Amino acid sequence: MPEELFKNDVEKCLHILQSGGIILYPTDTVWGIGCDATNENAVEKIIALKQRPQHKSFVVLVAEEKDILHYTAAPDLSVFDYLQTTKKPTTVIYEHALGLAQNVCNQDGSVAIRICKDEFCRHLIKRFRKPIVSTSANISGDSAAGNFSSINKIINQGVDYVVQYRQDELTAAQPSSIIKWNNGKPEIIRE
């Protein structure tokens, strides 16, 4: 049954992402609201649903290191060695975002990207062939939902598709660590 749910969810998510919609989906951290990270109108839908300030940037999920090279200009490659040593999912703020929706990025042109290790997300991203926005499934200012059952009904009803896979997990997930890579060393933004 989980295998069938997995495949069905991936297909439905692909359809929604390709048509500019938004999804509610499990990640390697908390459940996320996602969309095509290159589609400014889709990102606007998430901003409206979350009642989020326009100036806040988003986390973008990619499947592999090479994706970061495609969506940022001249990242310090030593960050990849560091990421190999981390146990907790880690989001990195990279300078000089490329090819992403402007409302995904910070006003200074940087972007927060995480190489996702979750099987569902990696499969979805590889099939979609573009990065996906990942923002916690909550109204802006509220606590992140630790599992599916604690997600606000407004979020559940406001997306175009809710992934069925992994909804029954009860363990409370934690948000990722966030770092900024400065001169070959991590600057911790969030532990």
Provide the pairing of β-strand 59-62 with 132-136. antiparallel
Q: Quick one: pLDDT at residue 68?
A: 96
CA distance 159 to 161: 6
Q: Which parts of the chain have pLDDT scores under 50? A: none
Smallest CA-to-CA distance from 41 within 20, 15, 66, 11 is with 20
Q: What is the CATH number of domain 2-190?
A: 3.90.870.10
Residues 79, 72: Cα–Cα separation, whole Å: 13
Taking each helix axis as running N to C, give the angle between helix 2-18 and helix 119-128, from 0 to 180 degrees, rounded to the nearest 10.
40
Which pLDDT belongs to residue 1? Answer: 52
Residue appearing with tokens 């994706």: 67
Domain ranges of the chain: 2-190
Predicted confidence at residue 18, as pLDDT, reads 98
Q: Give the tens place of pLDDT for each residue, 19-68.
A: 999 999 999 999 999 999 999 999 999 999 999 988 889 999 999 999 99
Give the strand pairing for 132-136 and 32-34: antiparallel
Residue with tokens 């989906």: 25
